Chains A and B, each alone.
Chain A
């Protein structure tokens, strides 16, 4: 059983479309992180959200942390083929001596 559930698992869209990826948990996290992983590489941190209700923007990517700090979303505007990859949400346990990743959303943006 995954502590962090992501949806959808797979997403295939055309260049220019918008999309939203969701990350949900029954547990409260003090912060959640979003990563992007490309084939043959390790995950790369995109953003950390800390405050309930927080919204962070990174160019065409918008990240939101739920008010109850149990869920988060990633919205991509006008997706580009370079956005293709595996998107992972993650959060730490108490004192961050454990770390949990979601199951991932595999995004394919077709030109």
Chain B
């Protein structure tokens, strides 16, 4: 148990729709990162939020957006879903960002299927 929860666990959407995935971080963790993990691949960094502001972003288009709230919850929003968006979406929280002295704690992920 990492203390990080995600909802829903599974989701099926159709191409063109919009989706919101939710994450609840460990209490006191100011940083949340979101990752996309395609089947058989390592996680790909989408973006990171620190104290409710986007702090870093990977190579994902603007239709991937996020929000972080003061109560240590966060959201990942994806607009105009494409078939290639089908993946496991992971959130990870850390006290002040991943790094040499910081550990990221991952949630179990939300598996999204786009038809």
Q: Which of A's residues lie within 8 Å of B, judged by CB? A: 2, 4, 6, 30-31, 40-45, 48, 50, 88, 90, 92-93, 95-104, 106
A6-B41 Cα distance, complex, nearest whole Å? 11
User: In angstroms, how far is the closest chain A Cβ from the Cβ of B92?
Assistant: 7
Beyond A41-B108, A42-B2, whether A99 also contacts B103 by CB under 8 A is no
A45-B109 Cα distance, complex, nearest whole Å? 16
User: In angstroms, how far is the closest chain A Cβ from the Cβ of B56?
Assistant: 3
Q: Using a Cβ–Cβ cut-off of 8 Å, how many residues does chain B contribute to the interface with A?
A: 29
A103-B97 Cα distance, complex, nearest whole Å? 22
- CB atoms of A98 and B42 under 8 A apart: no
**When A and B form their complex, what is the total count of cross-chain residue pairs whose Cβ atoms lie within 8 Å?**
68
User: In angstroms, how far is the closest chain B Cβ from the Cβ of A46?
Assistant: 11
Contacts of B61 in A (CB 8 A): none
Q: List 10 A-B contacts (CB under 8 A).
A: A41-B109, A42-B108, A43-B43, A92-B99, A96-B102, A97-B50, A99-B104, A101-B45, A104-B42, A106-B40
Contact pattern, B 47-72, Cβ under 8 Å of A = 1, otherwise 0: 01010000111100000000000000
- CB atoms of A99 and B100 under 8 A apart: no
- CB atoms of A88 and B43 under 8 A apart: yes
